[in-house]
Amino acid sequence: MIHVKSEKEIELLREPCKIVRDTLSFVGSKIKAGMSTKEVDELVERYIRASGANPSCLGYGGFPASACVSVNETVVHGIPDSQTILKEGDIVSVDVVADKNGYHGDACRTFCIGKIAPETEKLVKVTEECFFKGIEGLKAGTPLYDIGYRVQQYAESFGYGVIRSYTGHGIGREMHEDPSVPNFGRKGTGVRLKAGTVLCIEPMISLGNWRVRLLDDGWGAVTIDGSPAAHYENTVVVREDGVEILTL
């Protein structure tokens, strides 16, 4: 069941969303070649805690870190470790969730390490653009799957793969709430969204095949063909006349 948020609840969501935004900005200013993914995770945890919040990912379903740090062909849920060292040409998706006031904020950015291949740089750019395509026309009364339809149409116009095994979601007191928000779909279908619905919209797009496989750690999902993948996410509020982005 979709829990529509009151204005009071939306106000409580603003602070964790701002912390997530600022955490990702901070990570973006520090991340570089030679850094381990564990060091990236430590940056995230320190910044969130210094902001008076808690990292929601840590311990969630047994997840052992404060952020999902996914390199190159890892689409989502990469577990940070001290052995994975970032190098020039890598892309790294850092997915951050913060808990404050009893509510969660969630966003993801894909960072480029140094100079990367032009085709990969374009993938990262288009993935971000997919988010903004997804929210075009989004307002109260919009059918849910219009979001994914717009994402899919735009991504596939470049020949990219749209990941289907993982989706966006509702958010609030819980990190994951109804509804699931896929990045593909048929226009005009799905529940009509109400004003006050809070969603995490998160295009996950690959340079090649959209199919993924799960790593042995039970968390990380990688493209089946080893092609790089990018991920871009924001927490948004559906309004009567549009959408408000809380993590920008």
Q: Convert the pLDDT of each residue in 86-121 to its tens digit.
A: 999 999 999 999 999 999 999 999 999 999 999 999
Q: Which two tokens stand for residue 199?
A: 């969603």
**What gap in Å lies between CA 195 and CA 226, rounded to an integer?**
40
Q: pLDDT for 193-222, tens place per residue? A: 999 999 999 999 999 999 999 999 999 999
Q: In this predicted model, what pLDDT tens digit does every residue of 73-85 receive, in sequence order?
A: 999 999 999 999 9
The pair of structure tokens assigned to 194 is: 């109400």
Dist. CA 242–CA 37, nearest whole Å: 37
Task: Give the model's confidence band at 229: pLDDT under 50 very low, under 70 low, under 90 confident, else very high.
Answer: very high
Confidence of residue 5 (pLDDT cuts 50, 70, 90): very high
Count CB-CB contacts under 10 A for residue 105.
30
Residue 189 pLDDT class (50, 70, 90 cuts): very high
d(CA 181, CA 143): 11
The pLDDT mean for the chain works out to 98
What HEC string does 216-234 produce? Answer: CCCCCEEECCCCCEEECEE
**Confidence class of residue 124 from pLDDT cuts 50, 70 and 90?**
very high
Q: How far, in Å, are 20, 99, 148, 149, 196 from residue 140 at the CA level?
A: 25, 27, 16, 17, 8
At 7 the pLDDT is: 97
pLDDT at residue 42 in the model: 98
**C-alpha separations of 227 from 15, 71, 224 in Å:** 36, 11, 8
Q: What is the pLDDT of residue 202?
A: 98
Query: How many other C-beta atoms are found inside a 10 Å radius of the C-beta of residue 229?
Result: 30
Tell me yes or no: is domain 7-245 CATH 3.90.230.10: yes
Instruction: Report d(CA 26, CA 47) in Å as an integer.
Output: 8
φ, ψ of residue 105 to 5 degrees: the values are -120, 145
Residue 93: in which H helix or E strand, if any? strand 91-100
Length of the chain: 248
- Phi, psi (deg, nearest 5) at residue 184: -145, 160
CA angle 3, 5, 7 (to 5 degrees): 170
Say if CB 104 and CB 172 are below 8 A apart. yes
Q: What is the pLDDT of residues 26-74, one digit of tens each?
A: 999 999 999 999 999 999 999 999 999 999 999 999 999 999 999 999 9
pLDDT in tens, 6-16: 999 999 999 99
